[in-house]
Structure 1
Amino acid sequence: MKTYKVKVIDVNHMEINGKANHPLWEKAMVLNDFSSPWHFEDVEDIEFRALHDGTNLFVSYKVNDSSLHIDSTDDTKKSVDNSDRVELFLRSDKHLDPYYCLEIDPLARLQDFIARPNRVFDYLWDWPKQDISIKSDMTSSSFSVELSISMEALKRFKLIQNDGHIEAGIFRAKYNQKQNGQFEPTWITWVDPQTETPDFHTASAFGKLKLENFKLSKKA
């Protein structure tokens, strides 16, 4: 499995503002080897970073994009589903039973749901609001998204393995307007799942986020 090292920082030193410009982000490894295995067009630059302080997991995305598509019908999960967005999937085990999906658009709107094998999705489920913070920022040529996720929630959902790693899918949906006027997504991923058609909801689409200097306590 592809592995990304999540470096540790001092507790309470990180603040997110949506711009992903806090000096501590310079300490994080840059993950930018994204591709779209099912499409021929080039993938615009995407940078993913992650840090942790033992209390929270911090994640940032920076995406170059001068032609964002945002469904502004309303603020429902369905509108997020029809918009450009970044995605973070977290699984409890290789059987995907269950796994948790966080999809965030450039307005920091969240489509979150719990999923099980064979695309069984529960859109009525929400990630606990007290355990997540999301902010975003847009410019004429890019957008960025930041998340802060509590370690307590990750432990509660059994998403941190005993050796201190999290199994995650890191994705992007880019909507392009076709000749018929309809917008259709290009699916972009960190890990190539080796599927004939686009599919993030498969075990082979996940990699590892290895938390530096972190191990589960026996009580967890």
Structure 2
Amino acid sequence: MKTYKVNVIDSNIMEINGKANHPLWENAVVLKDFSSPWISEDFEDIEFRALYDGTHLFVAFKVNDSSLHMVSTDNSKKSVDNSDRVELFLRSDKHLNPYYCLEIDPLARVQDFMARPNKVFDYQWDWPKQDLNIKSNITSKSFTVELAISIDSLKRFNLIQKDGHIEAGIYRAKYNQKQDGQFEPTWITWIDPQTETPNFHTASSFGKLKLVNF
């Protein structure tokens, strides 16, 4: 299982603004190891970073993209489901019963839900608002998403293992317009799940976020 090291920083000095430009981000390992196993064409670069302190896990995505597709008719979870986005799935064990999904578009709108095996999704479930802060920033060439997730909520959902690692899936959905005018997603992932068709909702698509010195 692939492992990403989440470095520790001093408590209560990290603030997110959606730009991922706080000096403390220099302490994070930059993850660029993404692929789309089901397509042959190239896609634009994606960078993932994570840090943690005594109270929060901080996550940042930077995605090069000059042609964003966002469904903005409303702020419903379904609108996010049909938009360009980044995704972070977290599980308590390999059985995926349950696991928790955060799908965030460039406007910092979130589709959060609890899931169980065989794509049983509970869209009525929300990550507690007091435990999750999300901000984003869009430029002409890219967008950035930052998350601050409380350590307390990760513990409540049994997502931090005894040895200090979190099992996570890290993904991206990029919508491209086809000749018929319809938009179809390209599915991009950190871990190749070895599935015939795109599928992030499977145990084989998860890796480890190792909290250093936890």
> 1:54 & 1:39 partners in 2: Cα distance?
40
**1:110-147 deviations in Å (ceiling 9; x for gaps):** 00000000000000000000000000000010000000
Quote the residue 1:64 is aligned against. 64
Instruction: Give 5+ residue unaligned stretches, structure 1.
Output: 215-220
Quote the residue 2:9 is aligned against. 9
Indicate if the aligned counterparts of 1:106 and 1:143 stay in contact, CA closer than 8 A.
Answer: yes
- Write the letter of the residue equivalent to 2:3: T
> When the two structures are superposed, what TM-score results if normalisation uses the length of structure 1?
0.97
> 1:160 & 1:43 partners in 2: Cα distance?
32
> How many residue pairs were aligned?
214
Quote the residue 2:171 is aligned against. 171
> 2:186 & 2:144 partners in 1: Cα distance?
18
Quote the residue 1:190 is aligned against. 190
Quote the residue 1:113 is aligned against. 113
Indicate if the aligned counterparts of 1:112 and 1:126 stay in contact, CA closer than 8 A.
Answer: yes
**1:69-107 deviations in Å (ceiling 9; x for gaps):** 000110000000000000000001000000000000000
> 1:64 & 1:39 partners in 2: Cα distance?
18
- Write the letter of the residue equivalent to 1:165: H
Quote the residue 2:77 is aligned against. 77
Quote the residue 2:158 is aligned against. 158
> Runs of 4 or more off by more than 6 Å in structure 1?
none
Indicate if the aligned counterparts of 1:34 and 1:43 stay in contact, CA closer than 8 A.
Answer: no
Quote the residue 2:206 is aligned against. 206
Quote the residue 2:122 is aligned against. 122
Q: CA deviation at 1:54?
A: 2.1
> 1:138 & 1:174 partners in 2: Cα distance?
15
> 1:12 & 1:141 partners in 2: Cα distance?
32
Verify: 1:144 aligned to 2:148, yes or no. no
Indicate if the aligned counterparts of 1:112 and 1:127 stay in contact, CA closer than 8 A.
Answer: yes
Give the 3-state SS of the residue equivalent to 1:26 in structure 2. Answer: helix
> 1:213 & 1:15 partners in 2: Cα distance?
21
Q: CA deviation at 1:40?
A: 1.3
**1:152-177 deviations in Å (ceiling 9; x for gaps):** 00000000000000000000000000
Instruction: Give 5+ residue unaligned stretches, structure 2.
Output: none
Indicate if the aligned counterparts of 1:100 and 1:114 stay in contact, CA closer than 8 A.
Answer: yes
Q: How large is the RMSD of aligned CA atoms in angstroms?
A: 0.4
> 1:84 & 1:179 partners in 2: Cα distance?
19
> When the two structures are superposed, what TM-score results if normalisation uses the length of structure 2?
0.99
Quote the residue 2:133 is aligned against. 133
**1:41-92 deviations in Å (ceiling 9; x for gaps):** 1121000000000210000000000000000110000000000000000001
> 2:72 & 2:59 partners in 1: Cα distance?
25
- Write the letter of the residue equivalent to 1:184: E
Identity %: 81
> 2:54 & 2:94 partners in 1: Cα distance?
24
